[in-house]
Chains A and B, each alone.
Chain A
Amino acid sequence: MRVRNQFLIALAGLLSVVTFLSGCSSRPAVPAAPQHPDISGVWLGGGKGSWSTTRAKPGTEPDIPYTAWSLERMKGQRPGSGSDSDFENTTDPALKYADPLGFPRQYQHPLKFKIVQTDDYIYQLWEWNKVWRQIPLNKPHSDDPDISWYGESVGKWEGDTLVVDSVGFKDSTWLDGVGHPHSEELHVIERIRRVDPGALRIDFTFEDPVAYTHPWISQHTFKLVPGGKMTEVVTTMSDELHYRERFLQQKPAVPIRR
């Protein structure tokens, strides 16, 4: 009987140790401190038309190092808003064909976007046309990235800054709302940093040897929208055509007689 009791006590003790150890491995008592700064949240889109940091007429900005190739294309661009715009006859593919805005122009839309942050990925979700982007962390680019509307992105943390490297962009999109062109060789580097609890600054470097003689930079600081609710705002080609038919083809008003 005594031996049996000793065996039961030893078994109970062993089970306690195993339970404790297994608990330690899967459920730490104290959550680990965040390894990186928190950039998650809902942010207000840029609401700007050009990546130029000057107010110069598009095509003449001193901070944009056009090649002959891109300057020639700028002459034919007819944006839908801003100076020298022509909404009715615009060549903007996002208006003319309801094409996706593409990247990095998506950041300029005035609606909100959300950042979801995990240890392995950063996800960006835009309200406008329900666009999303996933950025794997600490991974190399594919050997031969596809050419796509939003490109292929990879990221890594450098201190308090998330550095995102993106390539593989379809050349039919515009870099921004005034029509800065790019080729499939476009390479975008974003340096993303939360500069205060309510502000996210992104510094952009645009590199494209076909369109620009050397890399050039821009930046935007996005405001946090506390508790921001993400809604669906999708515009299709039929929506765009319906809008144009109703608002651009109106004849002068005819009095209503009853």
Chain B
Amino acid sequence: MNRRVFGMFAMAAGALLMPSPALAHHGRALIYDTNKETTVKATITEFVWSNPHVQIGIEAVDANGTRLHWLLEASSTGILAERGWSRRSLKAGETVTVTFHPGLRSAPTGDLIKVVFADGRGLQAGILR
């Protein structure tokens, strides 16, 4: 396989695996800055396996060195289950690295993109299309 063909194949595979927003409930851009990503090392304070969105509370230090509490949302339980999540995926007190789109108007909320565990395992939050 030449390099060009391989490159096209890799791009196509990447597009298939890229998370896309859940279109069913609400527009992400109305609540979150979808052009911005925040990554923090966080302690899980709550994990609510619910609909319309799974909810994750975290405590972490922001870019200014201030310790804050954020409330993150992910997709619905059905969509996360397709990506390998379950109601036991996160536990309060656990330390993980989370990446999310931050809330607009300085709201301490976020739209989860992914979680990476201490052992390097990761869980993505978008829909597989």
Q: Name A residues whose Cβ lies closer than 8 Å to a Cβ of B.
A: 44, 47-49, 80-82, 85-88, 90, 95, 108-112, 127-128, 177, 229, 231-235, 239-240, 242-243, 246-248, 250-256, 258
Contact B31 A110 (CB under 8 A): no
Please name the residue on chain B nearest to A111 by beta carbon.
B78
Contact B78 A250 (CB under 8 A): no
Contact B106 A246 (CB under 8 A): no
Contacts of B44 in A (CB 8 A): none
Contacts of A48 in B (CB 8 A): 23
B127 within 8 A of A: yes
Q: Name B residues whose Cβ lies closer than 8 Å to a Cβ of A.
A: 20, 22-27, 30-31, 50-53, 55, 59, 62, 66-71, 73, 76-79, 81, 103, 105-109, 127, 129
Q: How far is the CA of A80 from the CA of B25 in the complex (A)?
A: 7
Contact A256 B67 (CB under 8 A): yes
The answer to whether A255 and B68 touch (CB under 8 A), given A233-B76, A247-B109, is yes
Q: How far is the CA of A218 from the CA of B66 in the complex (A)?
A: 51
Contacts of B127 in A (CB 8 A): 47, 110
Q: How far is the CA of A254 from the CA of B77 in the complex (A)?
A: 29
Contact B51 A233 (CB under 8 A): yes
Q: How far is the CA of A88 from the CA of B107 in the complex (A)?
A: 15
Please name the residue on chain B nearest to A248 by beta carbon.
B31
The answer to whether A246 and B108 touch (CB under 8 A), given A81-B23, A128-B24, is no
Please name the residue on chain B nearest to A47 by beta carbon.
B23
The answer to whether A239 and B52 touch (CB under 8 A), given A81-B25, A95-B25, is yes
Q: How far is the CA of A239 from the CA of B73 in the complex (A)?
A: 13
A114–chain B nearest beta-carbon distance, Å: 13
Contact B30 A85 (CB under 8 A): yes
Please name the residue on chain B nearest to A253 by beta carbon.
B108
Q: Which 10 A-B pairs have the closest CB atoms?
A: A253-B108, A81-B27, A233-B78, A87-B26, A250-B107, A252-B106, A235-B51, A256-B67, A80-B26, A253-B68
Contact B23 A111 (CB under 8 A): no
Q: How far is the CA of A108 from the CA of B81 in the complex (A)?
A: 19
Q: How far is the CA of A229 from the CA of B79 in the complex (A)?
A: 11
Q: How far is the CA of A253 from the CA of B50 in the complex (A)?
A: 24
Contacts of A233 in B (CB 8 A): 51, 76-78
Contacts of B31 in A (CB 8 A): 87, 247-248
Further pairs besides A85-B30, A252-B105: 10, Cβ < 8 Å:
A81-B27, A87-B31, A111-B76, A231-B81, A235-B51, A240-B52, A243-B73, A247-B53, A253-B69, A258-B67
The answer to whether A111 and B79 touch (CB under 8 A), given A239-B52, A250-B103, A256-B68, is yes
Contact B107 A252 (CB under 8 A): yes
Contacts of A243 in B (CB 8 A): 50, 52-53, 55, 73
Q: How far is the CA of A242 from the CA of B106 in the complex (A)?
A: 21
A58–chain B nearest beta-carbon distance, Å: 13
Most A CB within 10 A of own CB, among B26, B30, B53, B106: B26
Q: How far is the CA of A224 from the CA of B20 in the complex (A)?
A: 18
Interchain CB contact (< 8 A) of A239 among B50, B68, B103:
B50
Q: How far is the CA of A251 from the CA of B22 in the complex (A)?
A: 25
Q: How far is the CA of A177 from the CA of B25 in the complex (A)?
A: 9
Q: How far is the CA of A256 from the CA of B66 in the complex (A)?
A: 8
Q: How far is the CA of A237 from the CA of B109 in the complex (A)?
A: 22
Contacts of A258 in B (CB 8 A): 67
